[in-house]
């Protein structure tokens, strides 16, 4: 069968860093091999750097980004807890579903899609929630919210939970500086690794409030920690770690830290701004509120009279370029164009601008 080689400029997955792909195909190690455990420890250490945290409990969970959301609520919600969720897109919406399944009394604070989280409204929604949750980079709308401001304004008693699936390693994340308690990400966005892992981090004070026996076995952080954390001596087998994916994440993080986090952010910023300017030069209208646009994920309104799906199909089948449809009710009226990780380059922006521009003119 012919090899299909796409340029992945949708909302994720992105094309992995070459180092990540090479590591994926390296000889496999056992999940208890000291050589692998060294790679695992280094991966956790590198994740701490990228998260901006000293949290001991920083690790990759064995599932795609969404499993991070599940683990966050499964381990930190007790039935009857009040959880305030800022909903300004699909992933905030999803948080309300997941939190409710674990017995939370969910207080949702709705926003118009395309707008950032209104910190004041969120912190005033309830006087003493157990958790306040929000999405840092809404993959559905291309909007960045101010998690630092949210954490600063949150009552001390509330744990602050942030979805960083589309932000980590693309725009600055500073878990300790901001005072975030629980956060998760995905590997297939700005981290530049295939999907299958969810980097996760928990503060000490959140850890003290965890469920001792959460309803889930696979995501029970007490059990996972006994394997991942070798600092106390032994490692207790929990489940077989996805060794190839972790080695791949390890390699991508090495590449990112070699380049330097600031340089990586600057690369994302420059590529995203170039794309957003170029789209406007084509006469298109950006969807996300100005001043709150993610450089790594651009949302743009499909012009009147243009068949959104057809353009995406031509891009994919004739040019091997994938861009994303809009999410939810914007499926047909918005495109999502990602410049993430290895694709966060001005040249990738030029590629999609040139091709999309030609299709729209024809």
Residue from the set 53, 188, 203, 299 that interacts with a second copy by CB under 8 A: 188
Interaction between residue 310 and a second copy (CB under 8 A): no
Instruction: Identify whether the C-beta of residue 289 lies closer than 8 Å to the C-beta of residue 143.
Output: yes
> Does the footprint of a second copy cover residue 298 (CB under 8 A)?
no
Bridge partners (DSSP) of residue 337 are 298
Q: Of residues 22, 45, 152, 309, which one binds a second copy by CB under 8 A?
A: 22
Q: Does 16 bind a second copy (CB under 8 A)?
A: yes
Between 212 and 241, how does the x/- string for binding to a second copy read (CB under 8 A)? -xxxxxx-------------------xxxx
Q: Using CB under 8 A, which of the segments 21-29, 143-151, 280-288, 351-359 binds a second copy?
A: 21-29
Q: Are 224 and 235 in contact (CB under 8 A)?
A: no
Integer CA distances (angstroms), 298 to 7, 36, 227, in order = 16, 37, 39
| Cβ nearer to a second copy, comparing 4 with 127 | 4
How large is the angle between the packed helices 90-101 and 65-76, nearest 10 degrees? 40
The DSSP secondary structure of 247-311, one letter per residue, reads: HHHHHHHHHHHHH-HHHHHHHHHHHHHHHHHHHHHTT--B-SPTT-B-SSEEEEEPPTT--HHHH
User: Can residue 29 be called a binding residue for a second copy (CB under 8 A)?
Assistant: yes
- Kindly tell me which residue out of 19, 81, 181, 322 binds a second copy, with binding defined by CB under 8 A: 322
Of the candidate residues 86, 98, 228, 349, the single one contacting a second copy (CB under 8 A): 98
Instruction: Please answer whether residues 185 and 176 qualify as being in contact, where contact means their C-beta atoms are separated by less than 8 angstroms.
Output: no
Tokens matching residue 40: 């695992």
In this structure, the strands spanning 324-325 and 334-338 are antiparallel
Residue list for the binding site: 336
Stretch 128-187 residues interacting with a second copy (CB under 8 A): 186
User: Measured from the CB of residue 25, what is the shortest distance to a second copy in angstroms?
Assistant: 4
Residue with tokens 């091999």: 33
Residue 322's SS3 state is: strand
Task: Please give the C-alpha separations between residue 99 and each of 9, 45, 85, in angstroms, as whole numbers.
Answer: 31, 29, 9
Q: According to the binding rule CB under 8 A, does residue 27 interact with a second copy?
A: yes
Q: Which member of 70, 138, 181, 296 binds a second copy (CB under 8 A)? A: 70
Question: Per-residue x/- mask for a second copy, residues 48 to 67, rule CB under 8 A?
Answer: --------------xxxxxx
Q: Count interface residues toward a second copy (CB under 8 A).
A: 59
Phi and psi, residue 200, nearest 5°: -140, 145
Q: Does 35 bind a second copy (CB under 8 A)?
A: yes
Nearer to a second copy, 292 or 348 (CB): 348
Please name which of 129, 126, 78, 75 lies closest in space to residue 104, comparing C-alpha atoms.
Answer: 78
Q: Considering beta carbons, is residue 28 or 332 the nearer one to a second copy? A: 28
CB of 99 to a second copy, least distance (A): 9
**Which residues does residue 8 pair with via DSSP β-bridges, in sequence order?**
322
Q: How far apart are CA 78 and CA 233, in angstroms?
A: 31
Which of these segments, 28-36, 116-124, 275-283, 294-302, binds a second copy (CB under 8 A)? 28-36
Q: Which stretch binds a second copy (CB under 8 A): 19-27, 177-185, 268-276, 290-298?
A: 19-27
What is the nearest approach in angstroms of a second copy to the Cβ of residue 54? 26
**How far apart, in whole angstroms, are the C-alpha atoms of residue 133 and residue 83?**
7
Positions touching a second copy (CB under 8 A) are 3-6, 8, 10, 12-13, 15-16, 21-22, 24-35, 62-67, 69-70, 74, 94, 97-98, 101-102, 186, 188, 194-196, 213-218, 238-245, 316, 322
């Amino acid at each position: 069968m012919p090899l299909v080689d796409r340029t992945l400029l949708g909302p994720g997955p992105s094309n992995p860093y070459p180092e990540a792909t090479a590591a994926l195909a390296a000889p496999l190690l056992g999940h208890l091999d000291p050589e692998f455990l060294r790679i695992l420890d280094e991966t956790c250490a590198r994740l701490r750097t990228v998260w901006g945290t000293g949290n001991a409990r920083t690790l990759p969970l064995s599932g795609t980004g969404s499993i991070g959301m599940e683990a966050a609520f499964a381990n930190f919600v007790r039935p009857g807890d009040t959880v305030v969720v800022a909903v300004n897109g699909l992933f905030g919406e999803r948080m309300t579903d997941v939190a409710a399944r674990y017995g939370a009394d969910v207080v949702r604070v709705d926003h118009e899609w395309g707008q950032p989280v209104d910190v004041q409204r969120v912190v005033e929604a309830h006087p003493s929630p157990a958790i306040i949750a929000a999405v840092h980079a809404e993959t559905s709308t291309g909007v960045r919210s101010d998690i630092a401001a949210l954490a600063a304004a949150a009552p001390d008693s509330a744990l602050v939970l942030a979805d960083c699936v589309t932000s980590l390693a693309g725009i600055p994340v500073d878990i300790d500086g901001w005072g975030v308690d629980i956060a998760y990400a995905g590997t297939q966005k700005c981290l530049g690794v295939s999907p299958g892992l969810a980097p996760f981090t928990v503060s000490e004070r959140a850890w003290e409030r965890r469920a001792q026996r959460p309803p889930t076995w696979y995501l029970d952080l007490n059990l996972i920690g006994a394997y991942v954390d070798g600092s106390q001596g032994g490692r207790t087998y929990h489940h077989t770690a996805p060794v190839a994916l972790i080695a791949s994440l390890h390699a991508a993080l090495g590449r990112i830290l070699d380049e330097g986090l600031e340089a990586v952010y600057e690369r994302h910023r420059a590529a995203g701004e170039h794309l957003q300017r170029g789209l406007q030069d084509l006469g298109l209208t950006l969807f996300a509120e100005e001043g709150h646009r993610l450089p790594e994920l651009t949302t743009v309104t499909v012009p009147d009279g243009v068949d959104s799906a057809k353009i995406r199909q031509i891009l994919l089948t004739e040019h091997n370029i994938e861009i994303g449809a809009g999410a939810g009710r914007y499926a047909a009226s918005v495109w999502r164009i990602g410049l993430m990780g290895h694709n966060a380059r001005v040249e990738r922006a030029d590629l999609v601008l040139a091709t999309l521009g030609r299709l729209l003119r024809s």
